[in-house]
Amino acid sequence: MRNSAVSWVLDFGYQSVMVLAAQEKKSGEWVVLGKGEARAEGFERNEIKKMTDVVESIVEAIKKAEQSSGNSCHEFYYTVDDCQMNSIKPRGAKILAGEGQIRREDVKEATRNALRSISDFEKKAVYSRQISYVIDDKDLVGNPVGVFGHRLDVVLHVLLARSLYLDEWKKVTKRAGFDRAYPVASFVSAFHAVLDKNEPAKIVWDLGKDVCSGGVVDKHCLRDYAVFLNDSGPVQSLAKKVEEISRDWAREHSIEEPWVVTGDLAEKVENELEFAAVGTPKNFSFLEQPQYASLLGLLRIASEAQKAGAGAQTNQHLIRRVKEKANSILQEYF
């Protein structure tokens, strides 16, 4: 095993809270060092109803994982599943001096301008990725760096969650004793578990007992997104809703392959859909069932963010800067 950092991840599920401490091998496989589970209390219909109970559930699960791993948890990544989350595609521009050659800094500035254009001040971005680049209002390019032009436009796909919802979770993690706890949209975490990084466009659904979310994912880049509360009705009704949305996406993005369904209700819904296959976590020899996709996808996301800290273990100032950089990477790419 390479000398990789221990990743701590937490998923507050419908009935239980689960925490994992794990490390990644050179092969890409993961080994679990510790696991903790507690009953999910204080949470109802995707909302925090009693913060004290939520905190106690998290603390209990983390303590169990610490005891079984022999390690102490100082930070963790956790899933958030705001049922009012929505996606937007803002556009930002960078005017170049003359017909200049586009640099990475120009792309970053155009990206920042796109984020600044978001006018919904009651929500915060939990995911942001560039999905297209346009040179001089006419040329669509895959990678603008090195291309010459007068103007660069960047289009983003951004997921926005309620600010109050995220603030409540921040209070929870602080009361649990953690200043460094990073929220990740549950669906983003799920597709990181069931899809390889270079897979072409697929329709993916994470079907939970309380919240269902789905989207079009192309090489780990989210292109379309939808979320709704599960009304606990017949599984046929859920399957019909998933099918209607998926067919629209399939036509728009020319996707013919089977849709991927994961999460608590994946196997039940698969039986009701003509074009669907259950997606199970890849490169994990433990918790391979689809209901653990959101939890296990967090390990991949945490690992990518923590790679920003490689080689900085000997200087406390550098470590702090690396942590800040890791959080920035998390917000920009996941």
CA distance linking residue 240 with residue 243, whole number of Å: 5
The three-state secondary structure class of 317 is: helix
For the chain, domain boundaries? 7-84+163-333, 88-162
CA distance linking residue 109 with residue 253, whole number of Å: 29
The dihedral formed by the CA atoms of 20, 331, 282 and 201, expressed in degrees to the nearest 10 = 160
Residue 4 CB-density burial (10 A; 0-12 exposed, 13-18 middle, 19+ buried): middle
Q: Which class does domain 88-162 fall in?
A: alpha beta
Domain 7-84+163-333 has CATH 3.30.980.10: no
Q: What is the pLDDT of residues 225-250, one digit of tens each?
A: 999 999 878 999 999 999 999 999 99
Q: What is the pLDDT of residues 30-84, one digit of tens each?
A: 999 999 999 999 998 889 999 999 999 999 999 999 999 999 999 999 999 999 9
Distance of CA 248 to the CA centre of its chain: 23
Q: What angle do CA 64, 56, 281 make, to 5 degrees?
A: 55
- The answer to whether residues 156 and 90 touch, using CB atoms and an 8 Å cutoff, is yes
Dihedral pair phi/psi, residue 52, rounded to 5°: -60, -40
- Average pLDDT across the chain, whole number: 89
Residue 178 has pLDDT above 60, yes or no: yes
- The answer to whether residues 298 and 185 touch, using CB atoms and an 8 Å cutoff, is no
For the chain, give the number of residues.
334
Q: What is the pLDDT of residues 98-112, one digit of tens each?
A: 777 999 999 999 999
Global model pTM greater than 0.85: yes
